[in-house]
Amino acid sequence: MKAMFERRTTKQIHVGSIPVGGGSPITVQSMTTTKTADVEGTLQQIYALAAAGCDIVRCTCNEQEAAEGLAQIVPRSPLPIIADIHHQYKMALAAMEAGVAGLRLNPGNIRKPEHIKAVATEARDRKIPIRIGVNGGSLDPSLYEKHGGLTAAAMVESAMQEMAYFHEVDFDLMKISVKASNVPLMVEAYRMLSEQTDVPLHLGVTEAGPPPAGLVKATAGIAALLLEGIGDTIRYSLTADPVEEAIAGRTLLESLGLRERKNVDLIACPSCGRAEIDVIDVANRAMKAFADKKLPLQIAVMGCVVNGPGEAREADLGIAAGNKRGHLFVKGRNVAVVPESEMVEALVEWAEYINENGTEAAIARADTARAEREANKDRSAALQEKGDDANNANERIVEIRKVTGD
């Protein structure tokens, strides 16, 4: 699936070997939660993030021990490392000495122009990109006062002011974020910023909180902007294992057609009176079974054979329950019947075959006539037992018409 909207044109920079902006694929970022001085623990988390689909990872560099840890982490990391710098500009210099692929500076924390320009000069000479990371929670007090509080205009001015310092020393390898925990404010700030610069933009809702609320909040802001063509790289800031951030980011981009599917996209019906299985249980077991398979397929789990194959006819593979059996279908075609207890295992086996040989080969190997005959038999039995109106909608419609007088 390809995105149905045009992306905003931006400059392109590289974070290590990963391109950002300029029409390159939107990247997923996350941040380690370990102490950076804990080299082995941090690397373990970075490898987990890479396996989850993360493209770029950020590590804090808040002390000398962290900088020294980065010197050992960088050459062993499967992902480009960005050093997160807070109040001490010398930590940025130390991180560059450690060999990081990028920096993140918060204008609200490092305010002295000479410090900002010293870092930018060194980054220019080393060709290391910097993210100007404006955060609504740490806005420069002078801008807060000037704009009468935290506003989109204040955040954008902070970013543009920092960029002006960079330009003074001829540094232009940058991207910008204007994050806030308030979604409408964040969206407004990015929209405003996108009209003033063609620098790549890093999207995120800061301090989104724990899932599921944090996922909803972050998706609301990030997706709204991506659908407008705004954004070149993203991060979910969740109060959770960072692997969940990477999975969420990857899933969002795949859902919007902005990245090729890397793993299974599992769809499932919401269940109804016809459902002959616990759809939630089967779907959850299927998700666990496919978690590490890296099969870029859409797979459907449907609760009954009445509407299941039709509703999920575009899925690469699906299964629908009927008469204590699972009816497998490929691109809407019935291909096999398996016992209910073997539904998930059958999905995995057929998915691996399709991934290697394609859907046409999968259909060709099946006894489709028998599978369709068995599916029709179970479909008829389900309709006979529960009827076309399993949720009694027709009776409800009669009562509604009595109330409304129609």
pLDDT at 384: 66
Query: Could you tell me if residue 401 is inside a domain?
Result: no
Q: What distance in Å separates the CA atoms of residue 328 and residue 335, rounded to the nearest whole number? A: 6
Q: Give DSSP secondary structure letters for 309-355.
A: HHHTTTSSEEEEEETTEEEEEETTEEEEEEEGGGHHHHHHHHHHHHH
Query: Could you tell me if residue 184 is inside a domain?
Result: yes
Whether residues 68 and 211 fall in one domain: yes
CB 165 within 8 A of CB 119: no
Q: Provide the whole-model pTM.
A: 0.82
Domain count, the chain: 2
Q: What distance in Å separates the CA atoms of residue 71 and residue 98, rounded to the nearest whole number? A: 4
Q: What distance in Å separates the CA atoms of residue 192 and residue 373, rounded to the nearest whole number? A: 59
Which residues in the chain come in under a pLDDT of 70?
A: 1-4, 271-277, 305-309, 311-312, 322-323, 379, 382-394, 406
Query: Could you tell me if residue 1 is inside a domain?
Result: no
pLDDT, tens only, 60-112 = 999 999 999 999 999 999 999 999 998 899 999 999 999 999 999 999 889 89
Q: What distance in Å separates the CA atoms of residue 153 and residue 100, rounded to the nearest whole number? A: 32
Query: Could you tell me if residue 83 is inside a domain?
Result: yes
Query: Could you tell me if residue 368 is inside a domain?
Result: yes
Structural domain range at position 318: 265-386
